[in-house]
Amino acid sequence: MSTASRPDHYAVMGNPVAHSKSPLIHRLFAEQTGQQLQYDALLVPEDGFAQAIAIFFIRGGKGLNVTVPFKQQAWEIADELSERARPAGAVNTLMMDEQGTLFGDNTDGVGLLRDLGENLGIDVAGRNVLMLGAGGAARGVLAPLLEQRPVRLHVANRTARRATGLAAAFAAQGTLSASGLDDIPALRFDLVINATAAGLHGEVPALPAGTIGSDTWCYDMVYGTEPTAFMRYARQCGSAHTFDGLGMLVEQAAESFRLWRGITPRTAPVIAALRRQNAELVAQGE
């Protein structure tokens, strides 16, 4: 029973990973639910992901979160994939069973849907939805979005053929259309989701005038201590409803926690704690 006093070990692997909020989120979940666990952020070399996973589980690690740039690799390495990870082409949650089978899941889609539906009161059913971007982040959430039966889901991307490729891949699962950013259908969308990496370079995807109106919900899948570039752009376009992806981050973490620990933490107090921390960082000028 030498391991009896050692808490179960979890981690997030990424590169970069130092600014990850996941260790704090899982610490708050553990406190709230009375679970004993350790959760670290592990910086993994770009070419060392497979080895890092193997070492982590050989040493008795219980579960991993995976972030940029390793989600696609995690999908390839996993021995078994969940129903929702398979179409996503990406895995953000790994666990290993007693037989050494590495199981991969993707909780990003459910994280987005819970943030939209339960935290923000945005019902996707029957809405016109515009997805900006056709990379891994967009791909990971398309199937769960389509399950909500939007009246239309249009994927627009800087490189048009990536958008059409993605739409073709998911065509069986719902009403999907696709185009380049300059060719977006001229209709007022109810919900615009930014899944591009443009904000990482301080840029925004340029949209035709009229795409975003005052009633358009504008959701950025990324977050920062201050409103993101896309949120600021959406406000300039007149949107009165702009949201960052902090709630999605906490919701996907809660689903990982449930998979690992069999208990669902409450997310609202954790989202509130992260917002308070952000406000303090802004007040300190960071």
Q: Which residues are catalytic?
A: 71
When the beta carbons of 78 and 88 are compared against ligand ATR, the nearer one is 88
When the beta carbons of 68 and 273 are compared against ligand ATR, the nearer one is 68
Interface of this chain with ligand ATR, residues 132 to 161, rule: CB under 6 A: 133-137, 157-159
Smallest separation (angstroms) from ligand ATR to the CB of 118: 24
Pairing of strands 102-105, 93-96: antiparallel
CB 37 within 8 A of CB 10: yes
Interface of this chain with ligand ATR, residues 118 to 137, rule: CB under 6 A: 133-137
Q: How far apart are CA 89 and CA 72, in angstroms?
A: 6
Q: How far apart are CA 168 and CA 102, in angstroms?
A: 30
When the beta carbons of 122 and 141 are compared against ligand ATR, the nearer one is 141
CB 78 within 8 A of CB 33: no
Residue nearest to ligand ATR (CB): 135
Q: What number of chain residues touch ligand ATR (CB under 6 A)?
A: 15
- Residue 197 engages ligand ATR in binding (rule: CB under 6 A): yes
What residue has token string 């945005």?
122
Question: How many other C-beta atoms lie within 10 A of the C-beta of residue 160?
Answer: 17
Q: Which stretch binds ligand ATR (CB under 6 A): 47-55, 99-107, 200-208, 246-254?
A: 200-208
CB 180 within 8 A of CB 155: no
Q: Which residues bind ligand ATR (CB under 6 A)?
A: 133-137, 157-159, 162, 196-198, 201, 203, 205
